[in-house]
Copies of this chain bind each other. A is one copy, B any other.
Amino acid sequence: MAKNLINVGLVGLGTVGSGVVKVFQTNLDRIEERVGGKIKIKRLVDKFEDRFKELNIENLKFSSDYNDILNDPEIDIVVELIGGIEPARTICLSAMKKGKHVVTANKAILARYWDEIMQTAQNSKVDIYLEASVGGGIPVIQGLHDGLASNNIQAIYGIVNGTTNYILTRMAEGKDFKESLKEAQKKGYAEADSSFDIDGIDSAHKLAILASIAFNTTVDLKDIYTEGIANITHHDFKYAKEEFGQVIKLLAIAKAENGKFEVRVHPTLIPSDHLLAAVDDVYNAIYVVGDIVGPVMFYGQGAGQMAAASAIVSDIVYIARNIYSGVAGKVPSVYYETKHLSAKNIVNIEDIKSRYYLRFTVLDQPGVFATISGILGKYNISIASVYQTERKSGNKVPVIMMTYETLEKDIRIALAEIDNLSITKEKTLLIRVEKGI
């Protein structure tokens, strides 16, 4: 019997989940054109019935038990949007084992259980799509894998967290960190507990997913060196711009070079005239370098209800069109080629080489500069340029330096020694400079 309706089960009616319902309400004609047949959301599951009532929709089955979706044989596609680890992981795995295709935006389970989830999809011969897990509505995962399939990816540089990018944009305008964070929270871009964003953890999750796909490997979250933005001041933006023509962005970086693999998230100096430097506010962009195509950039809204819903519904359309054509689950997972998975030789952060922006906060007295540069010299760190501001607060003064390329290990030892001096009044700030970009 030819299929004449595709049923979707949606778990999680939070911001994004209710966005998905809205897209089905407003764009159903468009969706069914693209799908090539009828499709509907059959069941909604959430812990809170209020969320369902607020949606104010008729003829839709609501339940607080996700098993009502898993056990409904009519449901073809399960959309998991509750986030967190459990029961999200169980829902995705169980759905696939029951032969249902899955769409998820859950970066936490993808970054932690990549192998398990992808293997379950392959073994169960179902499709799993996850476009909304990175870069909100930007079709970067598909582009990265399919559109650049002929390339060996050499590097990924991503601005993948809207909250931190909003804060850094405000700081570049001269506002301080606290004020910028408050503004982000006021606008709903940052949670009350914003540490997941601010500390770079959200970006690391997304990098794990991007790098696993781009390099056909499995990147473990714990192997990603991760550093947040909380130690940067708006003065650093001023120095970076005026002295070095650079801006500061929180970048998620993955690079493969000479058999070595670097995966790291940290504030990074990039040239002001680079396209990534123009990505402001809550926007995201993923800049990918392929060995054939050169650089390609994907840009758009990285977060927010409708951006994420756009990606989720596009994934649903994709699966549904395949179901109607009788090909869903028949093409090996585009994200995961078991046969060719490669273990990557991940470089420890201490072994990377970079130029470094350094901001020392030291006593404003004779001989200080000689002391600092003496220690740097001892560890073979060459100074490319120095900037000492005339601004003084008490008797502390910032000294800004740009080094030539240096081994991170050497910088760390040198800074530990410098930070231990009595002339040093605050922990020295280090920001890596991305030269290859």
Contacts and interface: CB of A to CB of B under 8 A. Distances in A.
Given A148-B139, A151-B30, A331 B322 contact: yes
Interface stretch (A5-13, A200-208, A238-246, A293-301): A293-301
A337 to B, nearest CB: 6
A297 B296 contact: no
A310 interface: yes
A292 B147 contact: no
B294 A306 contact: yes
B147 A33 contact: no
Interface string A289-331: 0111111111111000011011111101110011001110011
A139 B143 contact: yes
Contacts of A311: 147, 293
B301 A295 contact: yes
Contacts of A143: 139, 142-143, 147, 298
B294 A301 contact: yes
A307 B326 contact: no
B147 A131 contact: yes
A423 interface: no
A299 B327 CA distance: 31
A138 interface: yes
Contact of A293 (B146, B151, B300): B300
Nearest to A325: B331
For the complex formed by this chain, how many copies does it contain in all? 2
A137 interface: yes
A222 interface: no
Contacts of A299: 275, 295-299
Interface centre among A27, A131, A139 (most CB of B within 10 A): A139
A310 B292 contact: yes
Interface string A79-105: 000000000000000000000000000
A152 interface: yes
A147 B142 contact: yes
A216 interface: yes
A34 interface: yes
A293 B138 CA distance: 8
A292 B306 contact: yes
Which of A152, A292, A299, A313 has the most chain B CB atoms inside 10 A of its CB?
Answer: A292
A377 interface: no
A36 interface: yes
Interface in A3-47: 23, 26-27, 30-31, 33-34, 36
B325 A325 contact: no
Contacts of A216: 33
Given A279-B275, A321-B331, A331-B325, A310 B27 contact: no
Nearest to A287: B299
Nearest to A36: B332
Nearest to A309: B292
A340 interface: yes
Interface string A130-153: 010000111100110011111110
Contacts of A295: 299-301
Nearest to A308: B293
B317 A326 contact: no
A4 to B, nearest CB: 15
A57 interface: no
A140 to B, nearest CB: 8
Given A147-B311, A295-B300, A297-B297, 8 more contacts: A27-B152, A30-B152, A33-B216, A149-B314, A150-B312, A275-B279, A292-B313, A296-B299
17 contacts: A30-B150, A30-B151, A31-B150, A33-B216, A137-B293, A138-B296, A139-B148, A147-B314, A148-B310, A149-B317, A150-B309, A293-B301, A293-B310, A295-B299, A296-B300, A297-B299, A322-B327
